[in-house]
Structure 1
Amino acid sequence: MSDYQSRGDKAYAKQLMQAANKEATAFLNLKASAERKDGAIPEKYRELMSIAVALSTQCSYCIDAHVENAVKAGATKEELAETVFIASALRAGAAVGHGLLAMKLFEEHAG
């Protein structure tokens, strides 16, 4: 399959939501709350945070949507670039944190 994941896959959203309507409604309500424009955190920063999370979770659709929203909210290319590297540093930090667990488990298993 050459286009395993593409923008065209968004066409399946309606089908997915209809198949699990209650869960989809709850998800969309949470999403709307997180992306609201009247919160204490300005919209641009909400979008940059969303991009950082999307990069960490590797959600292509989320990256696409939140980069578009960030541009509309006034984010600059430099802010996006810094967001990318902040997210990558934290992602790498999580690997180190899990490395601590691996060392602890090694000691437990090695006796």
Structure 2
Amino acid sequence: MSGIPDYKELTNAVASQMRAMRTSQSDLMNAFGQLAAAGTKDGPLDRKTREVVALGIAIASRCDDCIGFHVQTLVKLGTTRAEIEDVLGTAVYMGGGPSMMYATHALGAFEQFSS
């Protein structure tokens, strides 16, 4: 897939840098970890729904790193291709052409993490 990042490589590289930051920026990284835990725990919305929302925001924000992490989590949570495609449709509806381009990245990430 030309132009689509290698999401497994990308998320591993980012995760490695985030681990390094835990040493130099422990307060920041602990706070970010708490924020992530609070933002993804089951509540009125379950974790999968929260991750779907996060993916839509990642697409609209044009953040490949975010797309990688959220798609990876959604695959682990058993999200189907049809569900991903439904999210992509909503993201494109809300974000227009630029979101269409990043929606293709998210679909590529889904294919990579599903294989």
TM-score for the superposition, normalised by structure 1: 0.66
Give, in angstroms, the shift of residue 8 of structure 1.
4.4
Structure number, greater radius of gyration: 1
Runs of 5+ consecutive residues of structure 1 not aligned to the other structure: 93-111
Which SS does the other structure have where 1:74 is aligned? coil
The question of 1:77 aligning with 2:81 is answered yes
Match of 2:65 among 49, 61, 68: 61
Equivalence for 1:41? 45
1:20 aligned partner, one-letter code: Q
Q: Quick one: structure 1 residues 6 and 44, their matched pair in 2 at CA, closer, same or farther if it must change by over 3 Å?
A: closer
Equivalence for 2:28? 23
CA deviations on 1:20-54 (whole Å, 9 max, x unpaired) are 22122111101111111x31102221111111111
Match of 1:50 among 47, 54, 58: 54
Q: Quick one: structure 1 residues 40 and 87, their matched pair in 2 at CA, closer, same or farther if it must change by over 3 Å?
A: same
Q: What is the aligned-residue RMSD (CA, Å)?
A: 2.1
CA contact (8 A) 2:57 2:91 kept: yes
2:59 aligned partner, one-letter code: L
Match of 1:13 among 11, 18, 21: 18
The CA distance in 2 between the partners of 1:6 and 1:69, in whole Å, is 14
Of all paired residues, the percent bearing the same amino acid is 24
Runs of 5+ consecutive residues of structure 2 not aligned to the other structure: 97-115
Pairwise mapping of residues 100-111 of structure 1 onto structure 2 (< 5 A)?
Answer: none
